Structure 1
Amino acid sequence: MDNVLYLSQLQHYIYCPRQFALIELEQVWQDNQFTAEGQILHEKANSGTDEKRGDVKIVRTLPLAQPELNIFGVADVVEYHTNNGETIPYPIEYKRGRPKAHRADEVQLCGQALCLEYMHACHVPEGAIFYGEKKRRHSVVFDETLRELTLNTIRACQDIIVQKITPKAHYSTNKCRNCSLKDICHPKVFSKGAKKWLLARLQDG
């Protein structure tokens, strides 16, 4: 199907729909300090082997799928907690930095939960995000609000993939400044219109 979606892309859409489209449709990517640090953190998280600690089984780099939603991905770590004979998956995603104002990381993690629920025919109530800067877990409850946001994000991403239309730029100082694609996207140019930007540059010159 044309609308296959990988879970790692959900965070890009929440951060900026145009960023998602540039990566997904136009196949552009450029690392910066933040993406490089994130890759190193993921490599450390995925470098170990599966293990068991008491009643908890720890699985690393676990392939995920929910074919009904057409979403696929890989979980950094999934802990399987056994309580009263019932085993419940607990997904853990590793991120650099600290908790964010937007919910991009939580949506990505909730997408993992949707896959685990399909794969194991169970309810996954919560998971966690480990932030490298804080060096501790941030618990995430998969309530109805987060689940609805995640499903809406999945549908929005798949619409962009099917329609093959890159959204227009909307300049945001903080987001655009920290985006690894700012030199490719040129948000200041396309948010005001390339013609207006060019005229302003000619007048300044």
Structure 2
Amino acid sequence: MEDDVRLIPLSALQHMLFCPRQCALIHLEQQWAENRYTAEGRILHERADNLGHERRRGIHTAMALPLASEALGLTGVTDVVEFDESQQPTVVRPIEYKRGRPKSHRADEVQLCAQALCLEEMLDVSIKQGALFYGKTRRRKIVLFDDELRALTRRVIADTRALFDNDRTPPAIYEAKRCDHCSLIDACQPQVMGKQRSASRWLARQLQSLDE
């Protein structure tokens, strides 16, 4: 990886798959706002990060472990990594803490898989699965790092790299289910910006028709 290539935060992959505009607002424009959902998520992550290291029943648990991948240009910190030393070779499992419940999209799974890709490169191991722990259900959701998820994760990494290289924030597209609970809705203004975009397209079509 070239020294001047901008590293992609692991969290950006989740933002990218959820909404490219949100990803750009956070990681290109450095905008952030907190609401109840982000506050709950932050508190959940802080609890995980403050636990440090522990060993129990043959499992070494490491919290807030720094991650990086030179090959993929990724950087970040994982919530929890379990090293199951009762098995040989040692089984490595990344665990990510999330507020709420399992989602219909795969943004959380992509972020977790990217953590696994970093760990595989750093530790020279093969990681078959990890888990997402959701605050509402208080249960782990096992995530298999199969070929489909790995391919999706690499596509999202490539898309995020293209967004960073382009250094431009995508236009707003309002979707009530996605936008109304986003902490950046005031900064994004998807309803207003979306209408402006539609008006611009209408004006462009009118001008084109005059030239024909």
TM-score band by shorter chain is: over 0.9
Q: Match for 1:107 among 110, 113, 121?
A: 110
42, 46, 50: which one aligns with 1:47: 50
* CA positional deviation for 1:150: 0.6
Cα shift at 1:196: 4.1
- Match of 1:193, SS? helix
Alpha-carbon distance in structure 2 between the residues aligned to 1:83 and 1:153:
34
Query: What does residue 125 of structure 1 align with?
Result: 128
AA of the residue aligned to 1:139: I
Match among 58, 63, 72 for residue 60 of structure 1 = 63
- Asked if structure 1 preserves the Cα contact closer than 8 Å seen for 2:171 and 2:197, the reply is no
Q: Does structure 1 residue 162 correspond to structure 2 residue 161?
A: no
Match of 2:155 among 136, 142, 152: 152
Residue number in structure 2 paired with 1:21 = 24
The unaligned stretches of length 5 or more in structure 2 are: 201-212
Q: Tell me the equivalent position of 2:97.
A: 94
Contact kept, 8 Å, 1:2 with 1:161, in 2: the verdict is no
Unaligned runs of 5+ in 1: 198-205
Indicate conservation of the 8 Å contact 1:62/1:77, yes or no.
Answer: yes
Q: 1:49 to 1:25 in 2, by over 3 A?
A: closer
Query: Residues of 2 paired with 1:162 and 1:196: CA distance?
Result: 28
- Report what 1:203 is aligned to: none
DSSP 3-state at the match of 1:86: coil
What is the RMSD computed on CA atoms of the aligned residues? 1.4
Task: Give CA deviations for 1:120-177 in whole Å, capped at 9, x if unaligned.
Answer: 1111000000000000101000111111111111111111111111111111111100
Give the conservation status (yes or no) of the 8 Å contact 1:80–1:87.
yes
Compared CA separation, residues 53 and 167, structure 1 to 2 (3 A):
same
CA distance in 2: counterparts of 1:154 and 1:119, whole angstroms: 18
Q: Distance in 2 between matches of 1:87 and 1:6?
A: 27
Amino acid at match of 1:164: D
Aligned to 1:201: none
Q: 1:71 & 1:129 partners in 2: Cα distance? A: 20
TM-score by length of 1: 0.92
How high is the sequence identity, in percent, across the aligned residues? 48
CA contact (8 A) 2:172 2:190 kept: yes
2:193 matched to 1:190? yes
**1:45: how far off?**
1.0
**What is aligned with 1:77?**
80
Distance 1:2 1:115 in 2: 17
C-alpha distance in structure 2 between counterparts of 1:81 and 1:147, whole Å: 23
Point out the more displaced range, 48-57 or 186-195. Answer: 186-195
Aligned residues: 197
Q: Which amino acid aligns with 2:88?
A: G
TM (normalized to structure 2)? Answer: 0.89
Q: Which residue of 2 aligns with 1:138?
A: 141
